[in-house]
Amino acid sequence: MLTLESTKPSSNTALGRVLVVEDEETIRETIALSLSDEGYDVITAEDGSKALEIACRTHQSTAQLGSPIDLIVLDLMLPHVNGLDLCRLIRHEGNNVPILILSAKGSETDRVVGLEVGADDYLTKPFGMRELIARCRALLRRSNHGNSQSQETALTFKDIVLYPQECRVVVRGSEINLSPKEFRMLELFMGHPRRVWSRERLIERIWGPDFMGDSKTVDVHIRWLREKLERDPSHPDYLITVRGFGYRFG
Ligand code: CA
């Protein structure tokens, strides 16, 4: 069953629309109630396939469900499609909606796997509702800030300007030609200045979960991007190698 939970008037949807994916009814309803008490517009799904359907539908067409999902609160152990696969699939669709993973597993490995597949934050069960709400609020604040930069206006870093809607990049006043993969990689880097990306994470975000090649592919694309962006590709100012970790921008 798919339920729309809106206990507050529609003016409160301005706070954000949250999809809660959890198969245990008590937990699902408690989270939904707490979030709608805070003024969020809450949709619930009790299994992975329904959650995927909602996430994809709202990502592709905002007309059917009114407005897109602003945040997903996602349990890991779910029937049909588990939380990690769901997370991968959502990112593979090019959907960057913030995802907060909930899990009974608390080991470092699970946390790392969760973040590697594209989740933004991770909360271990049992957790307090105050903590959950604080995390949700922080994620929404971060993404609203990110959206106003990446979706509505150009991304600018020193003398590089990237226009996300037009798929154009201007370097030192001249437009350069990038392949779709190079463009997506640069967009990801410029959207998160100074953040270090591992090769695995870059593959996950740019090539998707079905990519069969190895992480050398990332190095090759970085080299091509450097040749197009850097004044001196052997002494890069933008795409910096972080030894033992991966790459960062700026
Ligand atoms: Ca569960």
pLDDT in tens, 166-220: 788 989 888 899 998 899 899 999 988 899 999 998 998 888 877 888 889 999 9
What is the 26 CA–ligand 1 centroid distance (Å)?
A: 11
Position 1 pLDDT exceeds 50: no
Tell me: pLDDT of 99 over 90: yes
- Give distance in angstroms: CA of 79 to centre of ligand 1: 8
In the block, which residue shows the tokens 């008490």?
37
What does the DSSP assignment read for 18-86? EEEE-SSHHHHHHHHHHHHHTT-EEEEESSHHHHHHHHHHHHH-TTTTSS---EEEEESS-SSS-HHHH
pLDDT band at 9 (very low <50, low <70, confident <90, very high): very low
Tokens of residue 14, six digits? 């301005």
How many angstroms is it from 24 CA to the middle of ligand 1? 6
Centroid of ligand 1 to alpha carbon of 82 (angstroms): 9
Distances from the Cα of 178 to the Cα of 181, 227, 249, angstroms: 8, 11, 17
Query: What's CA 243's distance to the chain center, in Å?
Result: 25
CA of 83 to the centre of ligand 1 (A): 9
In the reported structure, the alpha carbon of residue 237 is separated from the centroid of ligand 1 by a whole-number distance in angstroms of 46
Distances (CA, A) of 31 to 40, 52, 128, 221: 11, 19, 10, 42
Which helix (H) or strand (E) covers residue 182, if one does?
helix 180-191
CA of residue 76 to ligand 1 center, whole Å:
6
In this predicted structure, the answer to whether residue 74 has a pLDDT above a threshold of 80 is yes
Ligand 1: distance of its center to the CA of 40 in Å? 22
From ligand 1's centre to the CA of 18, what distance in Å?
A: 18
Quote the ligand 1 centre to 159 CA distance (angstroms): 48
pLDDT for res 27: 95
Q: How many Å lie between the centroid of ligand 1 and the Cα of residue 21?
A: 9
Specify the pTM: 0.55
Q: In angstroms, what is the span from residue 139 Cα to ligand 1's centroid?
A: 22
Distance from the alpha carbon of residue 27 to the mean position of ligand 1, in angstroms: 9
Q: What is the pLDDT of residue 67?
A: 59
From residue 98, give the alpha-carbon distance in Å to each of 14, 184, 212: 16, 18, 26
Other C-beta atoms closer than 10 Å to the C-beta of 77 total: 16
The CA 134 to ligand 1 mean position distance, Å, reads: 22
Which residues are registered as beta bridge partners of 156? 161
C-alpha 125 to ligand 1 mean position (Å): 10
Mean pLDDT of the chain: 84
pLDDT > 70? residue 145: no
pLDDT of residue 3: 46
CA distance 147 to 30: 29
Cβ count near 226 (within 10 Å): 18
The band of 105, judged by pLDDT with boundaries at 50, 70 and 90, is low
* Domain architecture of the chain: domains with CATH: 5-150 (3.40.50.2300), 155-249 (1.10.10.10)
Angle at the Cα of 163 from the Cα atoms of 173 and 216, rounded to 5 degrees: 90
The answer to whether residue 229 scores a pLDDT higher than 90 is yes
Spatial separation of the C-alpha atoms in residues 17 and 174, rounded to whole Å: 40
Under 8 Å between Cβ of 48 and 83: yes
Which pLDDT belongs to residue 167? 81
Kindly tell me if the per-residue pLDDT of 112 is higher than 80: no
More confident residue, 187 or 149: 187
